[in-house]
Amino acid sequence: MLTASFSIRICNWDEARAEARRVRELVFVHEQGVPLELEWDEQDPHCEHALAHTPEGLAIGTARLLPDGHIGRMAVLREWRGKDVGALLLQALVEQARDRGHATVRLNAQIQAAGFYRRFGFEAAGPEFVEAGIPHVAMHLDLMSARGGSTG
């Protein structure tokens, strides 16, 4: 499959805010119906944010890494899905977590997206639960076994 050359940038909330908000509001609020007040929390300023841009500089995807090693708010604009943007965002934040010394990366996956994370070695654990009206499952990736015991 031919893919365009998207760029992935890791940035802080001041740098990411405007573009991340636009992408997240389009995907979570408008597309998935998550209430606006649930989409925004106090965590963003403490997170590292990954942003995906087209070669023309349009932001088309975002995700964040919390200080405790959780990945969240993974969103790719609908018209840009299936082109490896999500894969690049996830891999960038997993690498970031490894650089920060985390042994495990965790996330709460929407059930419909669990197969996406499974492709990158994440395993589900625990029962399904509902968050923002959407069924989720907790997933984790062991970074030690994912790189044959490397401590990064």
Q: What residues line the site for ligand COA (CB under 6 A)?
A: 27, 74-76, 81-87, 109-110, 112-113, 115-116, 119
Comparing CB distances to ligand COA, the nearer of 128 and 144 is 128
Q: How far is the CB of 75 from ligand COA (least distance, A)?
A: 5
Comparing CB distances to ligand COA, the nearer of 112 and 150 is 112
Q: Give the CB-nearest residue to ligand COA.
A: 86
HEC readout, 26-90: HHHHHHCCCCHHHHCCCCHHHCEEEEEECCCCCEEEEEEECCCCEEEEEEECHHHCCCCHHHHHH
Comparing CB distances to ligand COA, the nearer of 7 and 112 is 112
Surface-to-core class of residue 107, CB atoms within 10 Å of its CB (0-12 exposed, 13-18 middle, 19+ buried): buried
Give the integer Cα–Cα distance in Å for 65 and 141.
14
Comparing CB distances to ligand COA, the nearer of 135 and 152 is 135
Q: How far is the CB of 73 from ligand COA (least distance, A)?
A: 8
